[in-house]
Amino acid sequence: MGSTAGGGGGGAGGTSIASIGLQAYSTMLQAQGVAEADEYQAAKLENSAKYGELKAVQTGGQMARSLNTTLGNIEAVRAASRADPNSPTGAAILDEQQQIGTDQRLTTVNSILAQANQDRSDAAYYKSAADHALFAGEVSAAAGIAKGIAGLGR
């Protein structure tokens, strides 16, 4: 009966070591999962930033074409009404419309680019968070092993 109790004690020690190892492994898997989720978010945000930059270029081009069409329509209407093409009033109207269109285009394009920059910044944050998650997992696993080993010595 004494040997059974001793065998049980050895089994309990083995189980404790296995438990410590499994706990450390679990901690590392959890940290890896968090890191992979952060990496995924970073990749999504990087793609979003790339598409945002493309959208800004396309929007700027489309708005420039639209402005040119508007200015051409104003000139056509003035020509149809036989207005003097060199009149200061006509030039002022064209200048005002061009300024309004340019301001709208710049505001829209800059807003899209600002969002793309924010997406890129957020992606960098998630990449950093992924690295920190892995490191924290390693530290936590090591601390758990040390604590478990210290508990076995009692």
Reported pTM: 0.72
pLDDT one-digit tens code per residue, 109-140: 999 999 999 999 999 999 999 999 999 999 99
In a domain, residue 61? The reply is yes
Whether the CB-CB separation of 152 and 13 falls below 8 Å is answered with yes
Mean per-residue pLDDT over the chain, rounded = 88
In a domain, residue 86? The reply is yes
In a domain, residue 3? The reply is no
Handedness of CA 57, 59, 63, 66 (dihedral sign): positive
Identify the pLDDT of residue 132: 94
In a domain, residue 8? The reply is no
In a domain, residue 5? The reply is no
Q: Which of 7, 65, 55, 34 is nearest to 134 (CA)?
A: 34
pLDDT one-digit tens code per residue, 47-62: 999 999 999 999 999 9
Q: Which domain holds residue 135?
A: 13-152
In a domain, residue 4? The reply is no
pLDDT at 68 over 90: yes
Query: In whole angstroms, what is the distance from residue 141 CA to residue 15 CA?
Result: 18
